[in-house]
Amino acid sequence: MKYHRSSEFCLSLFLLFVTAIFSGVAFFHWFGLAFFVGSLFIVHWLGLVATIFIAVLVPIYYILKRKRSRNIKTLLRIHVFGNLFSFMFVSIHFAQNIGRLAAFYPKLGYGFLLFIVLCTIVTTGLLERFSGQRKLVRYTKFVHRYSVVVFYLVAIIHALQGFNII
């Protein structure tokens, strides 16, 4: 593994560790995140902004990596770390909602499915980026790409339900 890839790998692991810590803090309500910013709780804004970031960045990355292949390293770093930060925000949103009291426990539906799909995308993306196993990447690439399609479908349904449109 080259130096820049190993440092990116370590930074990715660190971001996942920080995500786990922040999600635990949100789940156990050790820090109060149940406050409104405008009409939504802050954790809803985190999830919304992160989902929009992923939904916009993925097609931009897909197009630019074909059009501007000389900048592929920079594009890939933005793709990997931007999506890891977005995953952190979505994880905080998810943990805060799952950590509610039993009387206010949310119905596990499309939000849970969306989180599982996002975990699949992150896992397969990290395997593709850092495993170095071409045989493994051949299998994960299919799952990674089509999980993104499922992500778009489920995110739209989840948002429409969250805003009481459907």
**Residue 68 — very low, low, confident or very high, per pLDDT cuts 50/70/90?**
confident
Has residue 9 got a pLDDT over 70? Answer: yes
Give the range among 46-60, 63-77, 95-109 with minimum mean pLDDT: 95-109
**Residue 150 — very low, low, confident or very high, per pLDDT cuts 50/70/90?**
very high
Tell me what the mean pLDDT of segment 124-152 comes to. Answer: 91
pLDDT at res. 6: 87
pLDDT at res. 57: 95
Q: Which domain holds residue 156?
A: 3-162
Has residue 3 got a pLDDT over 60? Answer: no
Number of compact structural domains in the chain: 1
Q: 127-166 burial string, b = 16+ CB within 10 Å, else e?
A: bbbbeeeeeeeeebeeebeebbebbeebbebbbeeeeeee
The pTM (predicted TM-score) of the whole model is 0.90
